[in-house]
Structure 1
Amino acid sequence: MDKYTTSKYLVIVEPVKKVAELVKTAYSMNIPLILLVPFENDVPIFEQMVPNARVINIKNDSIDEWIKLLPPVDKIGGVLAGNEISVDRAAKLAERLKKGRYTLYEDAICCRYKDEMRKRLKSKNVANPKFVIIKNKSEIEEATKEIGFPCIVKPVDQSGSVNVTLVNSNDEVEAAFDRIKSVSIFDYVYKPEEILIPRKEEVIIEEYMTGQEFSIESFVRNGEVIFSSVTEKKTTHAPYFIEIGHHNPTLNYSNIENEIKEFGKTVLDALGIREGVAHCEVILTKDGLKVIECANRCGGDNIMNLIKNSYGIDFYKSLILNSLDMDPEIEITQNNSSAIRFFYSNNDKKVNDIYFEEFNDSLAENVVECNLFIKKGDKINAVKNLFDRFGYVICKGKTPTEANERIEEVLNKMHIE
């Protein structure tokens, strides 16, 4: 008998076919699955990906209508979000069904929308940048007088650094405001008619914080952080702040990792994240640690792969177990280091040729993954958001320095002409 045997369904809300680690992991565990899929064309894709799952096409954003499509409540064991934009609605569905372990909807909202997160953290006296939330361009001048220049303009309902911009004048704020209103992360993933969730009108103008960025990957059960790890970020900095690399554990800040973890616990407590995985991004400013943002979900950018290679912990598997009120498998079985670096360009260019020199045996055994998303004849865009990155390499090592050295070796062997 499989150790994860259960007759209860795990409901996954709006899984994304291109980033389906959660779905694939649950399937590999023989967990009965119900996938609530908003796009009719994706139904056969998921039916092929997980043949034994019940794939249900949802036509709207109504929790009441979703419940009518589900089997009786006693057949359901838990609910999880299939992507970041579904965290709040998955929490609402779990709360309505009263099944499994979940963060309450009122708290999940603060993990989904950056304006709600900022307001909650401020009310709990957690170190936050100064911020103003606006809806109209007529509010820009007053907001920038309060915040000052340079400042950051960002949407409240997006991710992946899409439309996060450093600005130095009211004219630049207006341009950033217009960009946020006209283009969203949804435009990179969905067709217009496929988007069920209306955009929020709010835009945040906030203090420009400088310093080293980190993410804290935590596992929470019944309000207690039972595991956390700090990842050091590498970004393009101004004006778009695109993440181009991660080191787990940190490459240069091992002396303050415990301090960062404790700050992360304070953030999770303030936001009410009581169950599952949390991905919290913070920055070490001259005034100390401050929150960039925090989400009740697995970190993207293959960070979960880094955690697995560094510590032997499968966050996806443990998240699934916890949501079904089973014991998560949070046990450190190894102490290694791992790192990822994304391939990107600072300029628009056409790829005439792209290749790697052959890896020697010593390097090859430390390369976990190396993937390119482009080929000869393709065009590379100057990096302005995560969708402009065109591949990545993940390396491991006994220490953060060793993992980083392997990354640099691979980068030196890549040639783009």
Structure 2
Amino acid sequence: MQRLLMIGVGLTGRPYVAAARRLGVRVHAVETAERAATLAGEVDDVTVCRGGSDELWYEAASEAVRAARPDGVVAFSEPHVLAAALVQDELGLPGPSLRAAALSRNKALQRGRFAAAGIGQPDHLVTDALADARAWASAHLPVVVKPLSSAGSAGVELVADHAAYDEVVARRGTEGRLLVERAVSGPEFSWEALVRGGKVWFANLTRKETTGPPYFVETAHRTAAEVDGPTRDIVDALGRSVLDAMGMDTGIVHLEFRLTPDGPAVMEVAVRTPGDRLMDLLGLAYGTDWYEMVVRMALGRELPPPPQGPLRHTASYLPTAHPGTVTAVHGLAEVLAHPRVVEAEVEVAEGATIAPVRSSAGRVGHVVLAAPRRDELEAALAEVRGLLRVETRRPDGDTG
């Protein structure tokens, strides 16, 4: 019986475990103590990780390998990518490649590699102190400041003018190494691809909605996005060039970019599970379990024929709320009863405090929708937006 080493499981990585079980595979999970306690009965073995750093995930993964050699390794989320790649490299197992994993973990390394490869991306500067980058930023305003290694838009911030840059220097001047980029405009997409041996087995295009400046937190995704033929060719060419530049071998790739008037501009790329229930949307859209495909590739197993196209159209809606204290949640029962809603959850309750939305962690829930036609999906999405509302009271007594 084959053994899968699952580095990180979290809340939304459990479908990987379920897929492995369906395939008759033993699962050895690496998780933090808090998460490990919730996996009883779901996995065969657990190795506890002592913390959340890349180094400690690798320490725990190495301990798991000493206990039993795996036949495949899957990284769940961004902090797990490097540990998985090191184990895959050591044991000669399928994986993205060490280069791809290192680039996934560092946006500044991505910028350097993609510049050398001639791939479209924003002008940028890496700085250890925002004050030292003032002259460069002034010549390129508006700019975006972002951490080198983060997820969910955490720490990403648009700086519109000189006064705003001075304020950011005062507030974030001691944060350490950051990336400063010229802001680019255009519709935002992501390209999700399952890759084996450097070749795309199947790819999808997702259109995104965000809160816009200054934090660009994602609030909706539509999979199987429809674009014209020339645009599709541009996107596919971009995906291939990114894979080549990364040295991508086997696994899942999540590429985020904007279609600017000057061509596509890469925002970032990762070789791990995309967030916001995208894997579930992809499974619903194409009738193929993407979690299972990742497990099959990790174990060197055969893949079925790729999908011929979408069977349905899917979307996720990720609502936000005004800052304040939650006084009521409206419309959840109606949303759950909607015929196009697959899943819905509000993650805050009455009395909770809502902070300003500055990252994905600030959203208040999620809704997954599916419909046979695009117009039906859009109608359902509009209805859900109108029904679901988290009401808050601000300190001054006003409600939102």
Normalised-by-shorter TM-score class: 0.7 to 0.9
Match in the other structure for 2:378 = 404
Query: Residues 397 and 403 of structure 1 are in contact (CA less than 8 Å); yes or no, is this contact kept in structure 2?
Result: yes
Q: Secondary structure at the match of 2:110?
A: helix
Q: Distance in 2 between matches of 1:382 and 1:68?
A: 41
How does the TM-score come out when normalised to structure 2? 0.88
Once the two structures are superposed, what CA deviation does each residue of 1:38-72 show, in whole Å capped at 9, x if it has no partner? x33333222x151x421012447265774354347
Q: Distance in 1 between matches of 2:169 and 2:87?
A: 33
Match in the other structure for 1:21 = 15
Once the two structures are superposed, what CA deviation does each residue of 1:118-146 show, in whole Å capped at 9, x if it has no partner? 11111111111101111124422243145
Query: Residues 30 and 60 of structure 2 are in contact (CA less than 8 Å); yes or no, is this contact kept in structure 1?
Result: no
Alignment CA distance shift 1:120-1:354 (3 Å): same
Q: Shift of residue 398 of structure 1? A: 2.0
Q: Shift of residue 410 of structure 1? A: 1.8
Please provide the CA RMSD for this pair.
2.6
Match in the other structure for 2:136 = 143
Which of residues 178, 198, 211 in structure 2 aligns to 1:223? 198
Unmatched segments (≥5 aa) in structure 1: 1-6, 184-200
Q: Distance in 1 between matches of 2:141 and 2:186?
A: 17
Residues 143-162 of structure 1: matches in 2 within 5 Å? 143-145=136-138, 148-162=140-154
Which of residues 253, 256, 261 in structure 2 aligns to 1:281? 256
Which of residues 184, 189, 195 in structure 2 aligns to 1:209? 184
Once the two structures are superposed, what CA deviation does each residue of 1:335-382 show, in whole Å capped at 9, x if it has no partner? 21111111112x313232222286599x73221112111222323333
Identity among equivalent pairs (%): 23
Q: Distance in 1 between matches of 2:350 and 2:215?
A: 27
Match in the other structure for 2:395 = none
Unmatched segments (≥5 aa) in structure 2: 392-400
Q: Distance in 2 between matches of 1:293 and 1:399?
A: 30
Q: Does 1:102 align with 2:88?
A: no
Q: Shift of residue 33 of structure 1? A: 1.3
Q: Secondary structure at the match of 2:327?
A: coil
Alignment CA distance shift 1:59-1:358 (3 Å): closer
Q: Distance in 2 between matches of 1:117 and 1:250?
A: 25
Match in the other structure for 1:186 = none
Q: Distance in 2 between matches of 1:32 and 1:127?
A: 42
Q: Shift of residue 30 of structure 1? A: 3.5
Alignment CA distance shift 1:389-1:69 (3 Å): closer
Residues 231-242 of structure 1: matches in 2 within 5 Å? 231-242=206-217
AA in 2 matched with 1:410: V
Q: Shift of residue 8 of structure 1? A: 2.4
Q: Does 1:337 align with 2:329?
A: no
Q: Secondary structure at the match of 1:234?
A: strand
Q: Secondary structure at the match of 1:70?
A: helix
Q: Shift of residue 395 of structure 1? A: 1.4
Q: Secondary structure at the match of 2:151?
A: coil
Alignment CA distance shift 1:229-1:411 (3 Å): same
How does the TM-score come out when normalised to structure 1? 0.84
Which of residues 99, 102, 118 in structure 2 aligns to 1:125? 118
Q: Shift of residue 239 of structure 1? A: 0.3
Query: Residues 80 and 323 of structure 1 are in contact (CA less than 8 Å); yes or no, is this contact kept in structure 2?
Result: yes
Which of residues 347, 359, 362 in structure 2 aligns to 1:373? 347
Q: Distance in 2 between matches of 1:90 and 1:118?
A: 23
Alignment CA distance shift 1:379-1:276 (3 Å): same
Match in the other structure for 1:134 = 127
Query: Residues 130 and 172 of structure 2 are in contact (CA less than 8 Å); yes or no, is this contact kept in structure 1?
Result: no
Q: Distance in 1 between matches of 2:334 and 2:37?
A: 39
Q: Distance in 1 between matches of 2:60 and 2:367?
A: 43
Q: Distance in 2 between matches of 1:102 and 1:49?
A: 27
Alignment CA distance shift 1:232-1:330 (3 Å): farther
Alignment CA distance shift 1:360-1:381 (3 Å): closer
Q: Shift of residue 174 of structure 1? A: 5.9
Which of residues 97, 105, 108 in structure 2 aligns to 1:115? 108
Q: Does 1:270 align with 2:261?
A: no
